Homo-oligomer: A and B are copies of this chain.
Amino acid sequence: MSLTQHLSTPISSSSSAFVAHSNFNSRTKNVSLPAKRFSICKCIAAPQEAQTAYKTTVSRNANMAKLQAGYLFPEISRRRAAHLLKYPDAQVISLGIGDTTEPIPEVITSAMEKRSRALSTLEGYSGYGAEQGEKALRAAIASTFYRNLGIEEDDIFVSDGAKCDLSRLQVVFGADVTIAVQDPSYPVYVDSGVIMGQTGQFQKDDQKFVGIEYMKCTPENGFFPDLSSVSRTDIIFFCSPNNPTGAAATREQLTQLVNFAKDNGSIIVYDSAYAMYASKDLPHSIFEIPGAKEVAIETSSFSKYAGFTGVRLGWTAVPKQLLFSDGFPVAKDFNRIVCTCFNGASNIAQAGGLACLSPEGLKAMHEVIDFYKENTNIIVETFNSLGFNVYGGKNAPYVWVHFPGRSSWDVFSEILEKTHVVTTPGSGFGPAGEGFIRVSAFGHRSNVLEACKRFKQLYK
């Protein structure tokens, strides 16, 4: 890539699912637009030296360069911008990026107000907190989500979100591990692995990075991988209820997964960020499966439960029973990374998290979740009524719509062009997402209803 090319490529966000701020819901007045792009002239020292800008002699990290492929959300952002140029008066609705839209229940925000106010008093001020999180919050997370599962307060590491913890886990694992991901999956698992040097180059022909085991999840296998055909890897990223397919694994399936990990000596990184959307009969934590504490880590978040996408609060449970091959506890290395590369979640956010887990807070969170689940039902019914095969939705805020034989990007463009609704092309989550569209249920009711009305007009 020439210098000129570098300079003319805008600074892009990442391919992560929640990255580009192509956020077009009806409340754009509160939404930050993408960072101002680098303009070409600013990258060069002076006009007369356009070809001779000073360069350091530091080599660019080769792993970063591998990431060039697969910029999902910036591409959506570009297409949306082009769409708005073409239709400047269009009332664009976003059911694309999985961003929460409903206010945070007052029982939760009032706790954050109170903590903010206390910080201005001698009695209420606190400085550095424990990097692992406040003791009361760790205890509340353990007792709310892991009661009777053998996960204790000191297994819980409070964080600024699951996405951030996933990268910290990758730093713990380092460059020499092999990884497996569901295909399709949340792009951060793959991207963080590439960044750490766990992979080879991206292969355009099969849309995969060399060295990653892609576990196909399709309607044919009920969105649960055929483990008999999956190669052993050190790390297995597994998200249930799943982003993007919305599929939730059963107890039997998770038991298979845990046994598979145990047989192979692998570590499962289980992403349960949508667990509260799952129906009661389904497992809500990997640690409900016997033996999981010896093979699994679980990461989760308040983002999709309490609307904390901007407040930033999550956690990761690393059982003390989980050991590397030399017997060293994984939790000790994770603790070291949390202490060296992080300084704890904001104390105000933690006060909010504690309020989330009070009886009133839990009730309020369930109401918000139920609201989004009603949105999901509306979207599912709409596509069902139009004769599509629709997956997900029941146990997750994502609806996975099949357009067999068609390109995801073509369908994305068709929907945007004809309905002004932004969705997410399934192929952006991995090659097995080709032919699908992810429709997010995060939105104001009026927008969801309007979008569904437009879908019905388009596909009637």
| Chain A interface (Cβ < 8 Å from any Cβ of B) | 1-3, 6-7, 9, 11-16, 18-21, 23, 27, 30-38, 42-43, 45, 53-65, 67, 97, 99-106, 108-110, 112-113, 116-117, 119-132, 134-135, 138, 152-154, 160-161, 163-164, 167, 171-177, 188, 191-192, 195, 197, 234-235, 261-262, 264-267, 294-295, 307, 309-312, 320-329, 331-333, 335-337, 339-349, 352, 442
- In the complex the two chains form, what is the Cα distance from A323 to B57 in whole Å? 9
Specify which chain B residues have a CB less than 8 angstroms from the CB of A122 in the assembled complex. Answer: 27, 103
- In the complex the two chains form, what is the Cα distance from A122 to B30 in whole Å? 10
A139 CB to nearest B CB, Å: 10
Task: Please determine whether A265 and B128 come into contact, CB atoms closer than 8 angstroms.
Answer: no
Specify which chain B residues have a CB less than 8 angstroms from the CB of A326 in the assembled complex. Answer: 1, 3, 6, 55, 59-60
Specify which chain B residues have a CB less than 8 angstroms from the CB of A36 in the assembled complex. Answer: 153-154
Give which listed residue, B100, B110, B174, B322, contacts A197 with CB less than 8 A.
B174
Specify which chain B residues have a CB less than 8 angstroms from the CB of A112 in the assembled complex. Answer: 116, 119, 348
Give which listed residue, B132, B327, B344, contacts A6 with CB less than 8 A.
B327
Task: Please determine whether B56 and A322 come into contact, CB atoms closer than 8 angstroms.
Answer: yes
- Chain B residue with Cβ nearest A327: B3
Specify which chain B residues have a CB less than 8 angstroms from the CB of A55 in the assembled complex. Answer: 265, 323-327
Specify which chain B residues have a CB less than 8 angstroms from the CB of A336 in the assembled complex. Answer: 12-14, 64, 67
Task: Please determine whether A340 and B192 come into contact, CB atoms closer than 8 angstroms.
Answer: yes
- In the complex the two chains form, what is the Cα distance from A188 to B116 in whole Å? 29
- Chain B residue with Cβ nearest A261: B56
- In the complex the two chains form, what is the Cα distance from A105 to B342 in whole Å? 25
- In the complex the two chains form, what is the Cα distance from A3 to B326 in whole Å? 7
Give which listed residue, B7, B100, B104, B324, contacts A60 with CB less than 8 A.
B324
Specify which chain B residues have a CB less than 8 angstroms from the CB of A117 in the assembled complex. Answer: 109-110, 113
- In the complex the two chains form, what is the Cα distance from A116 to B331 in whole Å? 33
- In the complex the two chains form, what is the Cα distance from A19 to B337 in whole Å? 11
Task: Please determine whether A340 and B35 come into contact, CB atoms closer than 8 angstroms.
Answer: no
Specify which chain B residues have a CB less than 8 angstroms from the CB of A132 in the assembled complex. Answer: 35
User: What are 8 A-B contacts defined by CB distance under 8 Å?
Assistant: A2-B327, A14-B340, A58-B265, A59-B326, A61-B177, A104-B125, A164-B343, A312-B347
- In the complex the two chains form, what is the Cα distance from A262 to B311 in whole Å? 40
Please give 11 more A-B residue pairs, beta carbons under 8 A apart, in addition to A9-B332, A109-B116, A163-B342: A6-B326, A7-B329, A11-B332, A12-B336, A35-B130, A36-B154, A43-B323, A55-B326, A119-B310, A192-B340, A312-B343
- In the complex the two chains form, what is the Cα distance from A335 to B32 in whole Å? 16
Task: Please determine whether B346 and A160 come into contact, CB atoms closer than 8 angstroms.
Answer: yes
Task: Please determine whether B128 and A103 come into contact, CB atoms closer than 8 angstroms.
Answer: no
Task: Please determine whether A321 and B124 come into contact, CB atoms closer than 8 angstroms.
Answer: no
Specify which chain B residues have a CB less than 8 angstroms from the CB of A339 in the assembled complex. Answer: 13-14, 16, 19-20
Give which listed residue, B43, B124, B264, B266, contacts A320 with CB less than 8 A.
B43
- Chain B residue with Cβ nearest A345: B312
A79 CB to nearest B CB, Å: 18
Task: Please determine whether A127 and B109 come into contact, CB atoms closer than 8 angstroms.
Answer: no
Interface centre among A32, A42, A56, A321 (most CB of B within 10 A): A56
Task: Please determine whether A97 and B128 come into contact, CB atoms closer than 8 angstroms.
Answer: yes
Give which listed residue, B131, B267, B309, contacts A58 with CB less than 8 A.
B267
Task: Please determine whether B23 and A128 come into contact, CB atoms closer than 8 angstroms.
Answer: yes
Given A310-B128, A311-B119: A54 in contact with B340 (beta carbons within 8 A):
no
Specify which chain B residues have a CB less than 8 angstroms from the CB of A120 in the assembled complex. Answer: 103-106, 108-110
Specify which chain B residues have a CB less than 8 angstroms from the CB of A38 in the assembled complex. Answer: 154, 320, 329, 331-332
Specify which chain B residues have a CB less than 8 angstroms from the CB of A123 in the assembled complex. Answer: 30
Give which listed residue, B57, B125, B325, B342, contacts A265 with CB less than 8 A.
B57
Task: Please determine whether A57 and B128 come into contact, CB atoms closer than 8 angstroms.
Answer: no
Task: Please determine whether A59 and B346 come into contact, CB atoms closer than 8 angstroms.
Answer: no
- In the complex the two chains form, what is the Cα distance from A127 to B303 in whole Å? 9
Given A18-B343, A160-B160: A59 in contact with B128 (beta carbons within 8 A):
no
A193 CB to nearest B CB, Å: 11
Interface centre among A14, A163, A261 (most CB of B within 10 A): A14
Task: Please determine whether B56 and A295 come into contact, CB atoms closer than 8 angstroms.
Answer: yes
Give which listed residue, B153, B309, B320, B324, contacts A128 with CB less than 8 A.
B309
Task: Please determine whether B127 and A309 come into contact, CB atoms closer than 8 angstroms.
Answer: yes
Given A12-B335, A31-B126, A34-B130: A310 in contact with B154 (beta carbons within 8 A):
no
